[in-house]
Chains A and B, each alone.
Chain A
Amino acid sequence: DAGVIQSPRHEVTEMGQEVTLRCKPISGHNSLFWYRQTMMRGLELLIYFNNNVPIDDSGMPEDRFSAKMPNASFSTLKIQPSEPRDSAVYFCASRHLFWAFFGQGTRLTVV
């Protein structure tokens, strides 16, 4: 298995544009997490899914953020409209029992 795959690896966009981050979890893992990492706030949980169902989205900053998991092999995190303060590295992780594996992240820069 190739591990958790995120795309794109880097994204630079202008303020106000829509941004979509993508994640392919490891096959067979039933939980998927979206995290955001910044120097100031560390690694923050945004939302997590269990068996494709959103369980806890209390970490989503505001209504500009939305996440979907239409099937077991794909998830998206969308920001619309994007703002400079959204600049961060966004990680997707999939988990089975005690084992959690992270993707390489998407470095988002909003200018």
Chain B
Amino acid sequence: TQLLEQSPQFLSIQEGENLTVYCNSSSVFSSLQWYRQEPGEGPVLLVTVVTGGEVKKLKRLTFQFGDARKDSSLHITAAQPGDTGLYLCAGATVSNFGNEKLTFGTGTRLTIIP
């Protein structure tokens, strides 16, 4: 079983501050995804990173895939209350049958205080 540990587990910061969330594993993934989940809803895909060292930006969010494709980070600049939610990373691995399955991290619950 591939374990994805996220840190911190909980984070509460003031609006306008910057933050970084980490996703670490001892396993190598073919790709890694980040999701945001709001109460009462399913996770919503934010980004997929595929190549080791890849950096993707989505407005104030910057995602990086580690060189060895075992870890990833999510950096938010000038956080806003709308960024509040549960952030989940998910690693994709290829099964013996050639199919990909997603394993989710433990989650980071982010609260932005106005």
Contact = CB atoms under 8 A, between A and B. Distances in A.
Contact of B104 (A43, A103, A104): A43
Interface stretch (A14-22, A64-72, A73-81, A94-102): A94-102
Interface residues of B, number: 24
Interface string B44-55: 110010100000
Nearest to B103: A45
B60 interface: no
B85 interface: no
Interface stretch (B18-26, B63-71, B73-81, B93-101): B93-101
A98 B97 contact: no
B42 interface: yes
5 contacts: A42-B106, A48-B101, A55-B95, A98-B50, A99-B48
